[in-house]
Amino acid sequence: MVLDSLGKSLRGVLQKIARSSNVDEALLAEVVRDIQRALLQADVNVQLALDLTKRVRKRATEERPPAGASVRDFLIRIIYEEIRSILGTERTFDNRPRKILLAGLYGQGKTTTAGKLARYYQKKGVRSALVAADVHRPAAIDQLEQLSKKVGCDFYANRGERRAEQIVREALARFPPHTTIIVDSAGRSGIDAELIAELKRVREALQPDDTLLVLDAAMGQSAGRSAQAFHEAVGLTGVVLTKIDGSAKGGGALSAVAVSGAPILFLGTGEHLDELERFEPTRFVSRLLGMGDIQTLLERFEELTDKEEAKNAAEHLMSGKFSLRDMRAQIDSLGEMGPVSKLLSFIPGMGSQQIPAGQLEETQARLRRFRAILDSMTPEELDDGHLIKGDRIHRIARGSGQRSQEVRGLLKYWETTRKAAHGITSNRKLRRQLERQFAQGSPPA
Ligand code: GDP
Ligand code: MG
């Protein structure tokens, strides 16, 4: 996992939100502080981190969650969106054969990346060829040849030739169309006129589909300036950020390069040829924040936005103000999904739990009985379930065509759900117990 400690800190923040009794000014202040600290520790630019948390605070204060979504989930979504926004644009990178020019300074991982990209294409069934155009260092040519043998791809070099662009022309004449051609160009210790001129000549000869800058993530924030300079000089289509595995400054490099205008396309995550991964900002943030749960939460948000009748029910459930009326709204909105407590499984860190098939049917049947019982209650009873005692129970049972025992079961379930609601977010056992109880219709042990 890349950027382990940043991910860990941010997941800690989300957990804190999920477990809090309510989202208030104090929690918000704490969350903002935690996020700032996490970002700064990952070397994200101070101003960038401050701006981000300022937006989080402003949005959390001014914007309203969609109906049926809790303030907690809403805050989590805001954090997700704001972190996503500093990672730049998403770019597709398909498997069609293409011509790739790699640029970069010495030691950034250019040659290694050439080998990794060749492996990437070979694995996808696209023939690839490595072209050695680093004419200044003979050792670089040998290194590339070794890599081509490991990958099992084509290779071209011309050790007597001093003009990189000439080597490229020869290579183009040699390999058939539909070959991905990856050119490892020469590096320098700094960006100078000579380097840029050579890159331009090679680009002229190659007519690349992609010009990728290879950058070491250990540069931290200064990777942004380097990306900017190369982008202006030769025009980049993307950046490969290498050695993200060994760098505590990954966050700084990622966020700084993102603002340079050239999208980050790949991350180098180790020395081995397989250690290259596509960088997709949205997926990256999902993973950083705890992946699957976040995705589910976001999808759920989309649904809830349209569901006016589920208004605030989840929020009430979490804050302990869950009325029978809320419970009815939830049964209506979650009717096809299962028990009320299923909603809790969308809280990050809890994962979702499968209910056995038979149990699900029973749950559905019970939901229908509950719905009938709730329909026989008066508005006062729906708002204050504690009014329902003695004769009222019999009246509701008669009205709904259910047994009094079932009415008591509903009240018991409501009471348990209400009381347990926030405990549940951090208590798996209790949640399972509730689900079982709901499906089987038995009071909790
Ligand atoms: P070049 O001068 O830009 O061609 O850089 P090289 O490809 O020769 O790489 C320089 C060093 O960085 C080598 O020791 C590589 O093994 C190492 N390296 C390259 N990419 C990565 C990476 O993603 N992670 C790690 N840990 N090391 C890498
Ligand atoms: Mg090299």
Over 80: is that where the pLDDT of 73 sits?
A: yes
If one counts the domains in the chain, the total is 3
Q: Is 111 in the pocket of ligand 1 (CB under 6 A)?
A: yes
Q: Output the pLDDT for position 119.
A: 95
Summarised one tens digit per residue, pLDDT across range 239-279 is 999 999 887 888 899 999 988 888 999 999 999 999 999 99
Q: Is 104 in the pocket of ligand 1 (CB under 6 A)?
A: yes
Q: Output the pLDDT for position 261.
A: 82
Q: Are 51 and 164 within one domain?
A: no
Note the helical H segments in 376-427: 379-383, 390-400, 404-425
Q: What is the CA radius of gyration of the chain?
A: 29
Residue nearest to atom 26 of ligand 1 (CA): 270
Residue written as tokens 């490099």? 253
Q: What is the domain extent for residue 280?
A: 99-291
DSSP 135: T
Over 90: is that where the pLDDT of 428 sits?
A: no
Q: Are 28 and 160 within one domain?
A: no
Coil, strand, or helix at residue 191? Answer: coil
**Distance from C-alpha of 91 to C-alpha of 69, rounded to nearest angstrom:** 31
Q: Is 246 in the pocket of ligand 1 (CB under 6 A)?
A: yes
Q: Are 286 and 359 within one domain?
A: no
**Distance from C-alpha of 43 to C-alpha of 266, rounded to nearest angstrom:** 20
**Distance from C-alpha of 347 to C-alpha of 327, rounded to nearest angstrom:** 18
Ligand lying closest to the C-alpha of residue 214: 1
Q: Ligand 1 pocket: which of 108, 110, 112, 279 to mutate (most atoms <8 Å of CB)?
A: 112
Cα→Cα distances 106→91, 99, 188, 214, Å: 27, 22, 5, 10
**Distance from C-alpha of 332 to C-alpha of 355, rounded to nearest angstrom:** 19
| CA 140 / ligand 2 centre spacing (Å) | 5
**Distance from C-alpha of 114 to C-alpha of 421, rounded to nearest angstrom:** 53
Summarised one tens digit per residue, pLDDT across range 330-347 is 777 654 444 444 444 443
Counting Cβ atoms within 10 Å, is residue 192 exposed (0-12), middle (13-18) or buried (19+)? exposed
| CA 99 / ligand 1 centre spacing (Å) | 22
Nearest CA to 218 out of 251, 263, 185 is that of: 251
Contact 386, 392 (CB under 8 A): no
Summarised one tens digit per residue, pLDDT across range 352-404 is 344 455 555 676 778 788 888 998 898 889 989 999 998 999 999 988 889 99
Q: Are 160 and 176 within one domain?
A: yes
Q: Is 243 in the pocket of ligand 1 (CB under 6 A)?
A: yes
Task: Identify the residue with better confidence: 65 or 55.
Answer: 55
Summarised one tens digit per residue, pLDDT across range 299-318 is 666 555 435 445 455 566 66
Protein residues with C-beta less than 5 angstroms from the ion ligand 2: 110-111, 140
Q: Output the pLDDT for position 348.
A: 36
Question: What token pair was written down for 173?
Answer: 């004449």
Q: Are 48 and 112 within one domain?
A: no
Over 80: is that where the pLDDT of 225 sits?
A: yes
Q: Output the pLDDT for position 207.
A: 96
Q: Is 312 in the pocket of ligand 1 (CB under 6 A)?
A: no
Q: Which of 21-30, 62-71, 143-152, 394-403 is most confident?
A: 143-152
| CA 444 / ligand 2 centre spacing (Å) | 66
Residue 42 within a domain: yes
Bridge partners, 155 (sequence order): 130
Coil, strand, or helix at residue 345? Answer: helix
Q: Are 316 and 287 within one domain?
A: no
Is beta strand 264-268 parallel, antiparallel or unpaired with respect to 276-278?
Answer: antiparallel
CATH number at residue 55: 1.20.120.140
Residue 303 within a domain: yes
Residue 277 within a domain: yes
Domain end position, chosen among 261, 291, 321: 291
Q: Are 343 and 235 within one domain?
A: no
Ligand lying closest to the C-alpha of residue 110: 1
